Amino acid sequence: MTSPQTPDDLTLWYDRPAVDWETQALPIGNGALGAMVFGGVASEQIQFNEKSLWTGGPGSAGYGSGDRTSPRPDAIAEVQAEIDRDGKMSPEAVAAKLGRPRVGFGAYQTFGDLWLDVPDAPASPIGYRRELSLREAVARVGYTAEGVTYSREYFAGHPDGVIVGRISASVAGNVSFTLRTSSPRSDRQVSVADGRLTVRGALADNGMRFEAQIQVVTRGGSRTDGTDRVTVTGADSAMFVLAAGTDYAGARPSYRGPDPHAAVTAAVDTAVAKGFDQLRAAHRADYRRLFDRVRLDLGQRTPEIPTDRLRAAYTGGTSADDRALEAMFFAYGRYLLISSSREESLPANLQGVWNNSTSPPWSADYHLNINLQMNYWLAEQTNLAETAVAYDRYLTAMVAPGERTAREMFGSRGWVVHNETNPFGFTGVHDWATAFWFPEAAAWTTQQMYDHYRFSGDLVYLRRTAYPVMKGAAEFWLDNLHVDPRDGGLVVSPGYSPEHGDFSAGASMSQQIVFDVLTNSLEAARTLNVDAAFQTEVTAALARLDRGLRVGSWGQLQEWKSDWDDPANTHRHASHLFALHPGRQITPGTPEAEAARVSLTARGDGGTGWSKAWKINFWARLLDGDHAHRMLSEQLMSSTLDNLWDTHPPFQIDGNFGAAAGMAEMLLQSRHDTVQVLPALPAAWPAGSVSGLRAWGDVTVDVSWRDGSADKITLHTGATGPVKVRSAMIGGHCRVRDERGNEVAVARSGETLSWDARAGRSYTIANEIDLATSTTLRSSAWESTSASPGPPPERLPTSAP
Ligand code: FUC
């Protein structure tokens, strides 16, 4: 039988069952389906989700079409006039004029729980262990009692669209349990036939139909149907297969498709026919195709203590256990993204795909003033571009309702969405004063799409998928920028820097986001050689656009156009640093970068989970690896739960994703057309290696380092064209060789090498003096006369023997 133990450096493990969903249970998922495994001995609980099960939207009382408009068409102009006159307006005053009560927005729903009640379960099992293998995407539970070893194994298979569990024992005839479901909802019916439990209903709120089927399959023993449960007695092993679906469809106006019954039935039937081994093999192959692309070695070793203790003992110091937690956290970010965002489902929401409530925090929705964007920061960099397909489809579907809101609320072209949205094209506003207004959201969301093009170089994607969405987001601002009477510059008004201060004109983040979308759209139009009139319009707007980059009275980057910044303000949003990250307007070494550093220092190292994650990225972009690492440590010490979920608090998954992206950002950056290798390596990571990270221009990078400096960099280039690489290792003795060992002619400028790469080739940069030093030079005069090696002389043999 399978051992439940998978001791390796990328396995979360615990020596007792979970009793708390949020902090202890372990997540598995395939994008559309998610489950949380508790691992109880007498009663196993598996809470599960299907990502489209939402209240609200069409069918929900008062929702209307969801693309909500302002009460009066002239209300925005009135607010602009007041801000022009007084310079600012309180959030409450603006909300009173522009807000509307939110009706029928809905919330993401738990589907329910699966329970396996075990008769005569041992009170004191021996060797209990539950674990989540990040290498295999499998959760396991194991223990021994009276000489019998029991094990359970669970995974959420993407190719087969099912959650699978297998319960086995080392001695035949020892598997007995009753499988039943529960749910906080009353709008469901449960039926059982032939070992298959069906849960079916329609949400009372909006009529959305939902169905789950769970088939129990046994080897040996007996299986008995009850009215709402299936009992297995004395089996050698048993498997269950769960599929779930709804009649949600991602398109207006109804957002409804076929009844889920046929698809759910087919998924379960097909999976059962395949059997456990085939399902697991398909899952493994599918998952590892994505997960195995990146490997990170920070010098970790397999921890000998459970993961909750590993986290509690973590100090961000020099121990191998600390490195183990960091490497695990990075891998976990990638695991969670693969598990909560696959091609055919909705994108990862505030909780990925995992939610055990009917009224989760912030509805477990799609927040757009940082959160959804942060969810996808790691997608390209850590070689998981496929996970962003769900994001692209979701945004593309939001354009139509967003166009209507742009037209009716703003009288403009383009599309818009505000601070929060749902799966039903909600693109309007609500009336919570400090979070209702954020028309910049649409522009910001398109950044990921342009980034996908820059990372992949995929022109077909740019033309068909990204550009139309980007162009619409840019057109919205072409029509909505306001002339600031103070200086004639083009500003966003009303503008609000999330989620504090007053409303004003030209808040820095607003300006930087508009700069970003206009710049990206112009670049894209030029690349595609389309839309000459649009290019002219964007160029003219950019010439008059306020850039949102002002250095204020205490050397800070101003958050607003007026110098209102309070050095004592430690608000979690540091929105005015958008230009540093995720924007690319600020480059290190400039006065703006220095001002950003001053602002960030004043904001401090505190904040909620996602805020700390963002700060890892900021410090990495400022090339301060030690401070980036300090933020990672802050996050692991005070914003991470025992199951390594990020906590805002409460649990919010963006911080997991943002931190993994930040770690990647410490190791590789490329947003300014130069592949920067190890740009922000902290002293805490003196030696290590990473492979498979992605850079702009379809480049995949492997690098190993020691003594805080790269010793070998390999670039796998997917496209033919110029590449530029910067690294502190690049000095006079670096050579670039292709995969056949031939030296490549390069241009050298300081720490930067550039050459013309060919598609499908690999280029390795190594300091060949090191190789020479270890052989030819060992007996050379300069070394033998000096106790320490000292700097190498200027001219030495440059090729390896
Ligand atoms: C933003 C943040 C909050 C929270 C919410 C879901 O509005 O300001 O802290 O993360 O999203």
Listing DSSP states for 482-501 in one string gives EE-TTTS-EE-SSB--TTSS
- Closest of 531, 758, 632, 730 to residue 316, by C-alpha: 632
CATH fit for domain 75-105+341-604, picks 1.10.10.10, 1.50.10.10, 3.40.50.11540, 2.40.10.340 = 1.50.10.10
Q: How far apart are CA 44 and CA 66, in angstroms?
A: 40
312 alpha carbon – ligand 1 mean position (Å): 26
Q: Average pLDDT per run of 10 along the chain, which is 801 residues long? A: 66 98 98 98 98 97 70 86 98 95 95 97 95 98 97 98 98 98 95 98 98 98 98 98 98 95 98 98 98 97 96 97 98 98 96 98 98 98 98 98 94 96 94 95 98 98 98 98 98 97 98 98 98 98 98 98 98 98 97 98 97 98 98 98 98 98 98 95 98 98 96 97 94 88 95 97 87 42 31 30 26
Who contacts 780 (Cβ-Cβ below 8 Å, separation ≥6)?
none
Pairing of strands 138-145, 148-157: antiparallel
User: Coil, strand, or helix at residue 741?
Assistant: coil
The DSSP code sequence of 769-801 is: HHHHHHTGGGG-HHHHT-SS--SPPS----S--
Alpha carbons 419 and 573: distance in angstroms, whole number:
14
Q: What are the tokens at 790?
A: 């000292």
Contacts of 309 (CB under 8 A, 6+ apart): none
Using an 8 Å Cβ cutoff, are 172 and 107 in contact? no
* Omega before 649 within 30 of 0, i.e. cis: yes
What CATH class does 676-784 carry?
mainly beta
Pocket test for ligand 1, best of 648, 654, 656 (most atoms within 8 A of CB): 648
Distance CA 688, CA 747 (A): 28
Tell me, in angstroms, the distance from the centre of ligand 1 to residue 17's CA.
Answer: 31
- Locate the ligand 1 atom nearest the alpha carbon of residue 648 and give its number: 10
Residue from 419, 571, 608, 657 whose mutation best tests the ligand 1 pocket (most atoms within 8 A of CB):
608
SS3 content of the chain, % helix, strand, coil (to 5): 35, 25, 40
Instruction: Give the C-alpha separation, 126 to 152, whole Å.
Output: 15
Q: Where are the domains of the chain?
A: 11-55+109-292, 75-105+341-604, 676-784
Q: Could you tell me which of 422, 336, 442, 423 has the C-alpha nearest to residue 379?
A: 336
Q: What is the whole-number distance in angstroms between the Cα of residue 105 and the centre of ligand 1?
A: 17
Radius of gyration of the chain (CA): 28
Q: Which residues line ligand 1 (CB under 6 A)?
A: 350, 362, 367, 369, 371, 435, 499, 572-573, 608, 610, 648, 652
CATH class of the domain whose range is 11-55+109-292: mainly beta
Tokens representing 356 are 């055990």
**What is the rounded distance in angstroms from the CA atom of residue 492 to the CA atom of residue 506?**
5
CA 349 to ligand 1 center in whole angstroms: 12
- Residue matched to tokens 């300006």: 511
Cα–Cα dist 794/611, whole Å: 47
Same fold, 11-55+109-292 and 75-105+341-604: no
